[in-house]
Amino acid sequence: MLKVDTEKCTGCGECEEVCTFGAICVQNDVAVVDQDACTLCGICVDACPEGALELHDEERLLATDLSSWKGIWVVAECRSGVFAPVTFELLAKSRVLADKLSTDVTAVLMGHEIESRAQELILHGADRVLVIDHPELATFTDEVYGNILADLAKKERPEIILAGATAAGRSYIPRVATILNTGLTADCTGLDVRAEDRALLQTRPAFGGNLLATIVCPGHRPQMATVRPHVMRASAPDPGRKGDVIRILPGENLLGHRVRVLESVKEQAEGPNLSEADVIVTAGRGFEQEKNVELARELADLLGGTVGATRAAVDAGWLSGRSQIGQTGVTVSPKLYMACGVSGAIQHIVGMQGSEIIVAINKDAEAPIFDVTTYGLVGDVKEILPLLIRSIRKKRGL
């Protein structure tokens, strides 16, 4: 229960301004709380310059009674009718964690005309699916998705919430964590649980992957993490799995949003997107001219992969910024990474060093890229790539 100390309250309206849920407003120069809409997030308490707001003790106590929080949630992501692969990767991982904790896995599915997809989540490991199907959710917005998830979490009290570290995930999950006043670990590459205190052990890279850290959230619930796509393995769907699908109607106060989506553009990507590609052929300065980058495209097409770029290639205008791999670009870990004409500056290496097989072609034998390669070829990309393309074509009988 949120209480207003009417002696201290000056009716300044700071609380009304910061409240995401429209649960507090100033009437007759004093703050008035709509207890039904209030999610006890406490942000207004921080914002009040007079210290006139307080979360009632009992509620606070319950909120800090960690053992009352149970279950693992996976927040599903569905874009244009296709589940992001990380959703299934998370379900598989959650199954393992849930078994260790003797608890269950709930998938949260938000969207519009989405209910029919809930079964897939069950087949991939969810014990139940909370479906929030509403026209306002047809397009992703940070505010609505975030508010609904936070509200649900407050009511249902899961001990762990996992989501994909996708563009959307990295955008709205921090919103949820802040509203819930709990810890969030971003872009995890490893997850485990410690049975004795039900702690989620979250492993994630820092410094562009030069350091790995394991993190816990000891005193707050839910323990939240976003997980890097393409690192954990999804399991095959089990057609015999059964589960519950529960439809939830979101409160009107959760559907307001101030950001409007005017247009959504899908760009014709050349091949699978970088974070999900199995093969990446990256073009660097060694190509020397834009027309030579065509060789990288040809090779990528041949191997069913995508073209990546170094900062140099992007600056030269040969490839778009979205193809840039590295510290200020995308981090990837494909099965095969071909660094062509790439010198191997640290800012680039941190974006790809986790790849399974790394091949580099560079005419400078001393180039730092060769420190991280599986196979290195010293030579000119303009000479080697055509030979490689021809050779692969021949092997494939093309």
Partner 1 sequence: MNIVVCIKQVPDAKTVRFNTEKGTLVREGVEAVINPFDFHALEAGLQLKDTYGGEVTVLSMGPPQAESALKEALSLGADKGILLSDRAFAGADTLATTYTLAKAIKKLGPVDLVLCGKQAIDGDTAQVGPGLAVRLGLPYVTCVNALSVLDDGKTMHLRRINEDGYDILELEMPALLTVLASLNTPRLPSLKGKMRARKAEIPVWDARELGAEPDRIGLAGSATQVVSTWVPTFEARREMLEGPAEEQVKALVFRFKEAGILNA
Query: Where are the strands (E) in 21-104, listed by range?
Result: 24-27, 30-33, 53-55, 72-75, 78-79, 82-83
Q: Which is nearer to partner 1, 205 or 284 (CB)?
A: 205
Among residues 6, 35, 116, 214, which is the contact residue for partner 1, using CB under 8 A?
214
Beta bridge partners of 244: 128
Q: Which is nearer to partner 1, 138 or 213 (CB)?
A: 213
Q: Does the footprint of partner 1 cover residue 370 (CB under 8 A)?
A: yes
DSSP state for residue 161 in the 8-state scheme: E
Among residues 35, 64, 68, 210, which is the contact residue for partner 1, using CB under 8 A?
210
Closest CB 90 distance from partner 1, rounded Å: 16
Among residues 12, 55, 231, 392, which is the contact residue for partner 1, using CB under 8 A?
392
Residues 307-336 that bind partner 1 (CB under 8 A): 321-322, 327-329, 335-336
What string marks each residue from 138 to 177 as x (binds partner 1 by CB under 8 A) or -? ----xx----------------------xxx-xxx-xx-x
Q: Does the footprint of partner 1 cover residue 374 (CB under 8 A)?
A: yes
Q: Does the footprint of partner 1 cover residue 233 (CB under 8 A)?
A: no
Query: Could you count the other beta carbons within 10 Å of the beta carbon of residue 49?
Result: 10
Q: Does the footprint of partner 1 cover residue 236 (CB under 8 A)?
A: no
Residues 113-142 that bind partner 1 (CB under 8 A): 142
Q: Does the footprint of partner 1 cover residue 190 (CB under 8 A)?
A: no
Q: Which is nearer to partner 1, 216 or 245 (CB)?
A: 216
CA–centroid distance for 309 within its chain: 22
Among residues 20, 87, 292, 310, which is the contact residue for partner 1, using CB under 8 A?
20
d(CA 270, CA 297): 8
Answer whether 200's CB lies under 8 Å from 191's CB. yes
What string marks each residue from 81 to 120 as x (binds partner 1 by CB under 8 A) or -? ----------------------------------------
Answer whether 154's CB lies under 8 Å from 67's CB. no
β-strands 199-206, 78-79: how paired?
unpaired
Among residues 107, 217, 277, 316, which is the contact residue for partner 1, using CB under 8 A?
217
d(CA 392, CA 139): 43
Beta bridge partners of 40: none
Say whether 372 sits in a helix, a strand or coil.
coil
Q: Does the footprint of partner 1 cover residue 363 (CB under 8 A)?
A: no
d(CA 118, CA 264): 25
Q: Point out which span in 26-34, 59-67, 270-278, 288-296 binds partner 1 (CB under 8 A).
A: 270-278
Which one, of 384, 382, 339, lies nearest residue 358 by Cα? 339
Q: Does the footprint of partner 1 cover residue 55 (CB under 8 A)?
A: no
d(CA 109, CA 115): 8
- CA-CA distances (angstroms) from residue 107 to 39, 71, 124, 134, 210? 21, 11, 10, 17, 33
